[in-house]
Amino acid sequence: MHRLAVLAVVLAGCGAPEQQHVQQALRDYDRAWEQLNYDAACARMTEALRRAYAGDARDCAEGIRTLASHAEETIEPSDGEPLGEAILVSLDAETVANEEIRIQGDTATVYTDHGWTQQLRKVGGRWLIDG
């Protein structure tokens, strides 16, 4: 009985490091968006998501710049902030701090207090944004 309790405690602690890696991946991705560093944001995405953002552009970062410029052209900013960037960013720093993370194998789903979800996939040992 005593061994079973110890094993349960040890197993419960095993998920924490992976959750921390997922949180760090989200923070790095978020920071790239905040700094308008689209190359860095794209580097933190899966290949499939990079292709989706690229669309007809030559690469992911150019595709995001195109989307952002179109969003800025069609939406009037209400407070002087460029809304094109806000539309493309799915999670902000406050939201990332208040998430629930569920990991199954090489996939992770992050659930936020705001009802948003973010999918990540572990590729080559790195957690990447997958949609």
Residue-wise pLDDT for 23-53, tens only, equals: 999 999 999 999 999 999 999 999 999 999 9
Place of tokens 């952002």: 68
Domain-located, residue 125: yes
118 is in which domain, residue-wise? 18-129
Start-to-end C-alpha separation, the chain: 43
User: Is the residue at 10 inside a domain?
Assistant: no
Q: What is the CATH number of the domain that holds 81?
A: 3.10.450
Averaged pLDDT, 53-58: 94
The reply to whether 3 falls in a domain is: no
Residue 11 lies in a domain: no
Per the structure, the count of domains in the chain is: 1
In a domain, 36, yes or no: yes
Q: Quick check: is 77 in a domain?
A: yes
Contact 22, 110 (CB under 8 A): yes
The answer to whether residue 23 is domain-embedded is yes
- pTM to 2 decimal places: 0.69
How do residues 73-109 score in pLDDT, each as one tens digit? 554 545 555 444 434 444 555 555 557 999 999 999 9
